């Protein structure tokens, strides 16, 4: 970002202390120094230039003219005008943003020409009176922070409620908004009709700021959210051991809306952990059970996406080890919550309320602050230890322990007849196939939501190595398309050792 230039006026000795103190403060303040660059005439090196030309050129180059008016009028040129008066006039002519501070509570001791200048400034703008360098610094700080807020360079409203810089309505996917509308109506009786216009939906959800998409709107419905919010992606890694070590067997960086991120990261974990598949002895539906309940996996990832600090330069990280699943998300707890309170009934305090509301409406999250307690209960029911939660170096870390026997893979072995190309994902799909099934039926049986991941990691691989086939191969995109095991696929399933 190009710094905002501030020209501090007045070279008379009356303001020497104030000028130096103000310059040092603006250059040292962690916030203001990011945005502002200060010019003092005394800081200029020696040059073969007239002083009056120099300071008037700097007024022209600055963005803000900061005028200090005191009792003295200062040195007068041939026309009887002081440098401070010249600077103010030039700043006015050029339409600069002018901040004027007058020393003292009244003008009784002012030089007549300075009194006239103060009155001239007062007829055009709001002046501020100060009595000490400390009071001047406080007043200038308040003015500059207000200016930054007006220019929308800093914010005081929640991150998800502020507009996303450079984003326009055209950067949102209206089809995604329409799909959300259908899900929200079915899931939570969302009041808007099915044919509501996308802008009406966005307005109802408070996702527009003066007609511009907010950060929440881009994260929920953006065509390319990471174009505007680079670190909103999710990084997923699978390690065979119990420590982070290279080479990483499987590593994926997922991009997309928050809904897509949750689905993709959840599918990544489910495709790597062990899956128990039963028999049809008690019915036509084959029972399945993941070693970590898929509701627990989903809740862990949803919480990370919904409650993370999106101003952080870090991303959500999902790491699967031989003995545990860890989900790291940038951010900490709100002041009203503690790690201990999370385990007990507590109010829902979303870090990103406008982001959380649509996720609630589509049943991705619940509103009542029950997520951690639900995870604890589901882990206990599955024979797993309670999830562990901690704050670590600015990250909220959730750890879910796997069963001890998961350290040694319990994925059913296959006989030597199974070729090396057969992946755990394909085997799981094969074990869940019941005659001829549609893609959606297969995904539902596997507990998967991300269609792209299913197609690339399951369906296409199974077809390429000849273990499953399409019922209508000459019309691959047919709505009546189904999938079934090939003879080779059935032979491999029979060769699996009994469970």
Shared domain for 18 and 145, answered yes or no, is: yes
Res 52 pLDDT > 60: yes
What does DSSP assign to residue 459? I
Q: What mean pLDDT do residues 101-106 have?
A: 88
pLDDT in tens, 368-379: 567 888 899 999
Number of domains the chain is built from: 4
Shared domain for 488 and 346, answered yes or no, is: no
Q: Is residue 299 part of a domain?
A: yes
Sequence-ordered list of residues with C-beta below 8 angstroms from that of 444, at least 6 positions apart, any chain: none
Percent of the chain with pLDDT over 70: 91
User: 281: domain CATH number?
Assistant: 3.30.565.60
Predicted confidence at residue 371, as pLDDT, reads 80
Give the domain extent around 119.
Answer: 4-150
Shared domain for 303 and 431, answered yes or no, is: no
Res 13 pLDDT > 80: no
Q: How far apart are CA 318 and CA 298, in angstroms?
A: 12
Contact 266, 252 (CB under 8 A): no
End-of-domain residue from the set 210, 228, 246:
228
End-of-domain residue from the set 85, 117, 150:
150
| 299 vs 498, higher pLDDT | 299
Res 11 pLDDT > 70: no
Shared domain for 170 and 243, answered yes or no, is: no
Contact 379, 295 (CB under 8 A): no
Q: What mean pLDDT do residues 204-217 have?
A: 93
Predicted confidence at residue 114, as pLDDT, reads 93
Shared domain for 96 and 12, answered yes or no, is: yes
Shared domain for 337 and 459, answered yes or no, is: no
pLDDT in tens, 109-134: 899 999 999 999 999 998 888 888 88
Sequence-ordered list of residues with C-beta below 8 angstroms from that of 278, at least 6 positions apart, any chain: 286, 287, 288, 289
Shared domain for 241 and 273, answered yes or no, is: yes
User: 473: domain CATH number?
Assistant: 1.10.10.10
| 235 vs 54, higher pLDDT | 235
- Name the strand (E) or helix (H) holding 291: none
End-of-domain residue from the set 406, 435, 463:
406
Residue 392, classed as helix, strand or coil, is strand
Residue 324, classed as helix, strand or coil, is strand
Predicted confidence at residue 7, as pLDDT, reads 87
Angle at 372 between CA 369 and CA 376, to 5 degrees: 140
Shortest CA distance to 63 belongs to which of 27, 39, 33, 28? 39
pLDDT tier for residue 278 given thresholds of 50, 70 and 90 = low
Shared domain for 207 and 253, answered yes or no, is: no
Predicted confidence at residue 348, as pLDDT, reads 66
Shared domain for 390 and 430, answered yes or no, is: no
Tokens of 180: 């959300």
Predicted confidence at residue 159, as pLDDT, reads 85
Shared domain for 344 and 285, answered yes or no, is: yes
Q: How far apart are CA 194 and CA 171, in angstroms?
A: 22
The pairing of beta strand 275-277 with beta strand 128-130: unpaired
Contact 10, 74 (CB under 8 A): yes
Average pLDDT, the chain: 86
Shortest CA distance to 185 belongs to which of 364, 362, 357? 362
Q: Is residue 450 part of a domain?
A: yes
Shortest CA distance to 128 belongs to which of 144, 143, 108? 143
pLDDT in tens, 410-430: 344 333 334 445 777 888 888
């Amino acid at each position: 970002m190009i710094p905002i230039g501030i020209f501090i006026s007045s070279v008379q000795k009356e303001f020497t202390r104030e000028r130096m103190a103000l310059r040092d403060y603006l250059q040292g303040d962690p916030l203001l120094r990011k945005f502002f660059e200060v010019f003092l005439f005394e800081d200029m090196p020696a040059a073969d230039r007239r002083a009056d030309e120099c300071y008037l050129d700097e007024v022209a180059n600055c963005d803000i003219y900061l005028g200090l008016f005191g009792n003295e009028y200062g040195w007068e040129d041939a026309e009887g005008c002081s440098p401070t008066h010249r600077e103010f006039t030039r700043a006015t002519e050029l339409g600069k943003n002018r901040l004027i501070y007058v020393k003292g509570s009244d003008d009784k001791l002012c030089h007549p020409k300075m009194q006239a200048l103060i009155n001239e400034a007062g007829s055009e703008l709001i002046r501020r009176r100060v009595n000490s360098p400390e009071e001047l610094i406080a007043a200038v700080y308040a003015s500059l922070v207000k200016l930054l807020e007006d220019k929308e360079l800093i914010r005081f409203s929640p991150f998800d409620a502020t507009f996303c810089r450079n984003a326009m309505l055209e950067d949102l996917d209206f089809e995604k908004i329409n799909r959300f509308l259908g899900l929200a109506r079915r899931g939570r009786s969302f009041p808007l009709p099915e044919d509501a216009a996308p802008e009406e939906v966005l307005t109802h959800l408070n996702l527009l700021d003066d007609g511009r998409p907010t950060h929440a709107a881009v994260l929920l419905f953006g065509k390319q959210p990471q174009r505007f919010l680079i670190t909103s992606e999710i990084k997923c890694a699978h390690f065979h051991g119990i420590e982070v070590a290279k080479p990483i067997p499987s590593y994926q960086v997922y991009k997309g809306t928050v809904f897509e991120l949750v689905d993709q990261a959840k599918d990544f974990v489910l495709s790597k952990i062990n899956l128990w598949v039963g028999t049809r002895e008690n019915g036509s539906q084959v029972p399945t059970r993941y070693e970590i309940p898929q509701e627990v996996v989903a809740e862990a990832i949803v919480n990370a996406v919904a409650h993370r600090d999106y101003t952080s330069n870090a991303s959500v990280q999902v790491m699967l080890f031989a003995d545990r699943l860890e989900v790291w998300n940038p951010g900490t707890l709100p002041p009203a919550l503690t790690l201990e309170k999370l385990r007990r009934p507590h109010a829902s305090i979303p870090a990103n309320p406008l982001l959380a509301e649509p996720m609630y409406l589509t049943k991705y999250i619940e509103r009542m602050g029950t997520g951690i307690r639900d995870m604890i209960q589901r882990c206990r029911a599955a024979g797993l230890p309670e999830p562990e939660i901690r704050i670590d170096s600015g990250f909220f870390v959730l750890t879910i322990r796997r069963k001890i026997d998961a350290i040694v893979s319990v994925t059913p072995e296959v006989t030597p007849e199974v070729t090396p190309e057969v992946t755990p994902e394909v085997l799981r799909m094969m074990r869940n196939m019941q005659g001829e099934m549609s893609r959606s039926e297969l995904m539902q049986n596997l507990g998967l939501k991300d269609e792209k991941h299913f197609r690339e990691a399951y369906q296409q691989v199974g077809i390429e190595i000849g273990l499953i086939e399409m019922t209508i191969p000459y019309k691959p995109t047919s709505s009546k398309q189904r999938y079934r095991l090939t003879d080779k696929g059935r032979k491999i399933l029979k060769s699996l050792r009994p469970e």
